[in-house]
Chains A and B, each alone.
Chain A
């Protein structure tokens, strides 16, 4: 692949997905895109880029974006965010939404579904505390291929062994040959939507908890700021934003502030000190 083709790829991925591909990422491009090239009957990255530039090459273009933006995920990844979900965010929201009786959660880069399903498992285990409050989990991802896998909830033996205690596996999954499928009642707890974070997500409504982990790291500074500010507009004043372990809002935007003592948690800071108490309802709940 010649330099101008790599530049084309960089610009293409930036505009389509926000992905910033630095010059030293050539190896990543090769490992991710050679299989795409082969699938389309092409023998090199050079040919692949040429094919992408032809008019009407939408399928190739989509495949390239999906291959470059799909990342490995595992159940209960990093542990802490799920502990904070169980022990801090969920109890606060159960209290604060006692009137409205709905808690809305958004997984903004749901990938193959491990994160939303981990939350669904937490909710199942906390069912007695929910006291009939309805919880919606909206899971979005850029890639439709990934969303299909997520929706089916079928995982390999390798995938279910990273992050899932064996008892949890037995309780919430059904074995299908060498694969494991998460049970239908948990699958029904998650709604899937294809969504590019670069485009408007105002249509999704307002959320109480937003998980947006390990996706901002791929964006450049202005894109990070833009996405964070738009999330801030779509989050309840007392809602929570959860970022990945290597991510922060500090130095990017004052739309969110870190929650003191709770790593990875952010709030808009609009709710004031009484965030946990029910506030007057401003919107009509459905």
Chain B
């Protein structure tokens, strides 16, 4: 079973994402900001990370840049999932090492399609 870390400051979004990803047979961990996500990654590197952008403590982009510098941090497939839906944001995320990008709002079809694009399914 692949392990996906869901990083979002909204518990509602984390719950929705968890439900969708569990249906796609992922084991789920959750973190409410980038800092907590980084700690979890240091303990156990996930296969995939569904990542919000705007969060307190450490935002998604800062987290991604830090993750990619960690030992083994190049491995997880990172899928941004954010309301930031303009080309400038998307480009920054890709340059920072994101593999895919979901523009909120999302549904199961989109998550499934994007995880497929990213080679996770």
Contact = CB atoms under 8 A, between A and B. Distances in A.
Interface of A: 74, 157-158, 161-167, 170, 175, 178
13 contacts: A157-B103, A158-B110, A161-B103, A161-B106, A161-B113, A161-B114, A162-B110, A163-B113, A164-B117, A165-B100, A166-B94, A170-B90, A178-B85
Given A175-B86, A175-B87, A178-B85, A166 B100 contact: yes
B87 A162 contact: no
A81 to B, nearest CB: 15
Contacts, number: 32
A167 B103 contact: no
Given A157-B85, A158-B107, A166-B100, 19 more contacts: A74-B113, A157-B103, A158-B110, A161-B103, A161-B106, A161-B110, A162-B109, A162-B110, A162-B113, A163-B113, A164-B117, A165-B117, A166-B101, A167-B94, A170-B87, A170-B91, A170-B94, A175-B86, A178-B85
In this complex, the member of A157, A158, A161 whose beta carbon has the largest number of chain B beta carbons within 10 angstroms is A161
B95 to A, nearest CB: 11
A166 B110 contact: no
Interface in B54-95: 85-87, 90-91, 94
Contacts of A170: 87, 90-91, 94
B102 interface: yes
Contacts of A158: 107, 110
A273 to B, nearest CB: 36
Nearest to B100: A166
A86 to B, nearest CB: 16
B85 A166 contact: no
Contacts of B94: 166-167, 170
Nearest to A173: B87
A202 B109 CA distance: 38
A142 B117 CA distance: 31
A74 B114 CA distance: 13
B116 to A, nearest CB: 8
A184 B109 CA distance: 28
A284 to B, nearest CB: 44
Smallest CB-CB A-B distances: 7 pairs: A166-B101, A165-B117, A161-B110, A162-B113, A157-B103, A175-B87, A166-B100
Contacts of A167: 94
A215 B109 CA distance: 22
B16 to A, nearest CB: 16
Contacts of B107: 158
Contacts of A166: 90, 94, 100-101, 114, 117
A107 to B, nearest CB: 21
A164 B85 CA distance: 15
Contacts of B90: 166, 170
A107 B103 CA distance: 30
A166 B94 CA distance: 9
A161 B111 CA distance: 9
A166 B82 CA distance: 13
A162 B90 CA distance: 17
Contacts of B101: 166
Contacts of B91: 170
A166 B77 CA distance: 14
B80 to A, nearest CB: 9
A162 B102 CA distance: 10
